[in-house]
Amino acid sequence: MFVRVIRAQGPKGVKYEYLRLVEAFRQDGKTKHRTILNLGRKDLIAPHLDQLIRVIRGEPSPGTESPNTEKDDMPLAAWDWGPILVVHALWRTLGLHDLLDCLGKPGRRRNADLSDRVLVLVANRLTQPTSEHGLARWLETTFACDRQGRRFVPAWRDDAERKASRSPRVRVAAAQLQAWYRSLDQLIAAKRAIEHQLYVRLRDLLSLRVDVAFYDLTSTYFEGVGPARLGAHGYSRDHRPREPQVLVGLVMVDGIPIAHHVFAGNQRDAGTVPVVLDDLDKRFGLGRVVFVGDRGMLTQATVAELQHRGQPYLLGCNRRRSPEASQAIEQATGPWRDCPVGITAGERDNPPRTQVQEVPSQQPGRRIFVVQSEERLAFERSQRQKAMQRVHDQLEALRQRVAKGRLKAADKVGAAAARILAKNHGQRYYAWTYEDGVFQYGEHPVHLPREIALEGKYLIQTNDPELSPVQAVQTYKQLSEVETAFRNMKDVINMRPVYHQTDTRVQAHIFVAALAFLIHALIERKLKAAGLDLSANEALQALNAIRLVEVAAPNGKTRQCVTRGTRRSEAILRALDITQLDPPTPKKRS
């Protein structure tokens, strides 16, 4: 048999080709042909030729194979792997495996895995922060493994057992929870040694500049009553004054966090300074660094303590609470010196200027710098105008109420005016009177001019005789790195809220967050050095494209493979000097 092509004329002069399956046979000594099957038009059959061949051969069509076929590998499970891969690489770079392995207590089995367990806690805090109870859910979708490649598997309680127990809301096996808690306890017991050894490692690895130390404080609140010693009510930067809180102080050198301190929630900012200075001197040998802090550190007692120690300092001054602030600003009549423009501001067509000048100080050995920033001026002026408009509208509404006789009692009028001025800093901008049943208001003759004079300006002071005004401004601006660090620790790494109810567990929780932020800072440092315009958070999110897949082979065994990710994730791995994507292979048991 063979295929014959038959040409025929179609409508409008179009010529078509038809295919026929023809059989050749002999009859009466002659060769004859007969059509076995009309296959159809050639141009319509051509796109389906492959499928037609498979049907004739009895092969299944693509996508119709049985899922139990043994011809190809079958995927069984997949987990997130890219971010964990990065944490493993930086963990080794910092030498944390060797550092933490030596902390295990003699007599305990598998003490050497403390480093691996802390790595899991830090990686979780960095990528998807949760409690030790929620850690099991994260472990289900993430390939978190130790340095031998053995995966940490969540241990869930049996539902029937859980519901019949005294703690039905706890879904994780008690043994696994206690293992994580023991890891926290062992970690915090060696905090001082770990931070010191990490500092030595980072100083040599990154060639850190250790002539300036930046220090700032923040707070984080508790769910519930909090621990007895650390949990206390104080000034809440989280705007949760009813919740007990704890203070966290962070010390950074050359953009890298080297130490943190935990204080009771009612501790004053300035009262933490002597503790930090002693620690920098005794534990890190940084007694002669310039100590940089914000205006919350500036009290007479703090300055006296710094001067008594002979400690160089650079502190921000409070513009409104300091009686010398207005006088210093009034004295700033001399020539202004331009400060270098930052990278972001320098990209603008008309970059905003920052200028500084030194003014006389009333105290010997102290120097005062007045700084004015065009960018800060535009922002503060805009904020004041918005606030003034809101207060004006409310005061006008109050004036109309009084004029219509809806509010007459002097004490009620005064209370209403006080409530309005208490919002949006209204007392800084407006004054009011109520006489003979008439309510009047207007711009404050003293406070408003003073506010306008303060806009765009801030003050810093130092006792360093060699620090130039421009150097002082450049150094103080770096304090924003510490503020960014706190935002990362609290928002990115989600240090808050804290559920632990004992002092040591709270300190361990914060230590894990601090280690996570150190990894975060190293990632951003490497990305910046490689010229990648990505934050650490964006990089970690992009690395989720790298996944570890477990497949079943035809021989009944399983194997693991790692997806290559995207071009973006490949660029991130190159910036982090990571070339090996596969996890370690667990050793076979003999």
Is 80 exceeded by the pLDDT of residue 224?
no
> Cα–Cα distance between 180 and 114 in angstroms, integer?
10
Percent helix / strand / coil, the chain, rounded to 5: 45, 20, 35
> Cα–Cα distance between 232 and 506 in angstroms, integer?
13
> Do residues 292 and 311 touch, judged by C-beta distance below 8 A?
no
pLDDT, one tens digit per residue, over 253-275 is 988 999 999 999 899 888 898 99
- Residue 13 DSSP class: G
Please report where in the chains the tokens 């890190």 appear, as a residue: 284
How high is the pLDDT of residue 588? Answer: 63
For every residue of 136-164, DSSP letters joined together read HHHHHHB--B-TT-PBP---BPPHHHHHH
pLDDT, one tens digit per residue, over 532-582 is 999 899 999 999 999 999 888 777 788 889 998 899 999 999 999 999 999
What does the CA dihedral 304, 307, 313, 319 come to, rounded to 10 degrees?
30
Domain spans of the chain? 2-57, 76-189+525-575, 316-462
Mean pLDDT value across residues 347-364: 84
How high is the pLDDT of residue 520? Answer: 93
Instruction: Write the single-letter amino acid at 157.
Output: R
The predicted model scores a pTM of 0.76
> Cα–Cα distance between 81 and 83 in angstroms, integer?
6
pLDDT, one tens digit per residue, over 58-92 is 666 665 554 444 455 678 889 999 999 999 999 99
For every residue of 255-305, DSSP letters joined together read TEEEEEEEEETT--GGGGHHHHHHHHHHTT--TTSEEEE-GGG--HHHHHH
> Cα–Cα distance between 470 and 356 in angstroms, integer?
7
Nearest to 209 by CA among 311, 290, 111: 290
Q: Is 76 helix (H, G, I), strand (E, B) or coil?
A: strand
Residues 6+ apart with CB under 8 A from 30: none
